[in-house]
Structure 1
């Protein structure tokens, strides 16, 4: 029951972050690359909401259908954080981000990871999990951080470190590091919500970074 409350709270937090991100976008002088953050947040709103209400819906075709969109939103949206990271590097005037080949690498990496996730999602079946009062579906064989998440996190960490070296803004690098370390450490506590808390901190650090860059532009 406590995990259910946590997931509802995560959903509310992401809704607030989504609205704040859209507000930044509307008055932003930055490029469209920054739009990918609220896009990912929208997927996280749906993800946490479906996990929160899973126990109320119960195992069956309805939850299966709703859960299917969780996996597709994750496959299509999460890799676009690479493009957000490129936007951060570009608007921070980091020298290596000005090279055309770097832009191409970021775009190609995003497309490649989306394609990989789509193929993986199509090839795996869903399995039901009951734990700590939560009822949710997961893809078969999925354990530990997915390859796509690891690659995205490492790219964001690289940009976060470059941002710190160039502007002394450390929040992005710290947020990414917290998520990486938090995901890697096995916690022996009766909850599935810990990883999602690290994820929330991570996304919040990206929002703060977007806000910081906008203030520098104004």
Structure 2
């Protein structure tokens, strides 16, 4: 049953990745490229879970699952930079400065370092079988929910709320909030709820990228919008 579910998950992430690639191809936005990296990582994550039963317990599957944790450590915080880029393109004033951009990038890098400790250097994989899936889970590192992932989700929720207030666009906030709920539900043997949340967040992120990171779909910044309201003297 879960194998069929993960076939759908992999297909959904593959489609989302294709759409993200098209957005990047049109707008050449580095923020859209970061989203694409995240989505490709999620293909790897869910595909590894999907093929686990066929590969079987052993070093090969253990290595593949080690890659899953490496992917999560390296690419999940990239969503913070992606969301910040959306705010920049949406004309949010504080997101326009080089200082804010530097702070966000440094913060995301710090989260990557924390994730590398949890999911790479302190990696301790143990096999776990749930229904018809076989995968390895990390029992090393810091206990509790993954800190970088949770902080990334909260940042996305905050960015989504700012975007909602600035432009009326609700999808990023809604998708991020759904991800937070799914992450809370998707613990232990219900891990697949977490992947479901990732699909909803991915869909919301792709649609948001299409709205704000594509050259054809972008909206004017606040400064541009104000300039259009400046009256032009009629000397005729």
- The normalised TM-score by structure 1 is 0.92
Per the alignment, residue 99 of structure 1 pairs with 97
Structure 1 runs, 4 residues or longer, greater than 6 Å off? none
Question: Is residue 90–residue 163 contact of structure 2 (8 Å, CA) maintained in 1?
Answer: yes
Question: Is residue 64–residue 137 contact of structure 1 (8 Å, CA) maintained in 2?
Answer: yes
What is the CA-CA distance between 1:185 and the residue it aligns to?
3.7
Matches of 2:211 and 2:174 in 1, distance apart?
15
Task: Specify the structure having the higher radius of gyration (Cα).
Answer: 2
Matches of 1:130 and 1:185 in 2, distance apart?
19
Per the alignment, residue 167 of structure 2 pairs with 167
Matches of 1:172 and 1:119 in 2, distance apart?
29
- How many aligned residue pairs are there? 215
Alignment of 1:123-162 (within 5 A): 123-141=122-140, 145-162=145-162
What is the CA-CA distance between 1:117 and the residue it aligns to?
1.1
Structure 2, unaligned runs of 5 or more: 220-236
Matches of 1:184 and 1:137 in 2, distance apart?
20
Per the alignment, residue 61 of structure 1 pairs with 59
Q: Which SS does the other structure have where 2:77 is aligned?
A: helix
Q: Which moved more, 1:44-53 or 1:195-204?
A: 195-204
Question: Is residue 125–residue 140 contact of structure 2 (8 Å, CA) maintained in 1?
Answer: no
Q: Which SS does the other structure have where 1:135 is aligned?
A: strand
Matches of 1:139 and 1:173 in 2, distance apart?
29
Structure 1, unaligned runs of 5 or more: none
What is the CA-CA distance between 1:171 and the residue it aligns to?
0.6
- The normalised TM-score by structure 2 is 0.85
CA deviation vs aligned residue, 1:19-74 (integer Å, no higher than 9, x gap): 11101110116x31221101000000000001011011110011011111111111
Question: Is residue 35–residue 82 contact of structure 2 (8 Å, CA) maintained in 1?
Answer: yes
Per the alignment, residue 27 of structure 1 pairs with 26
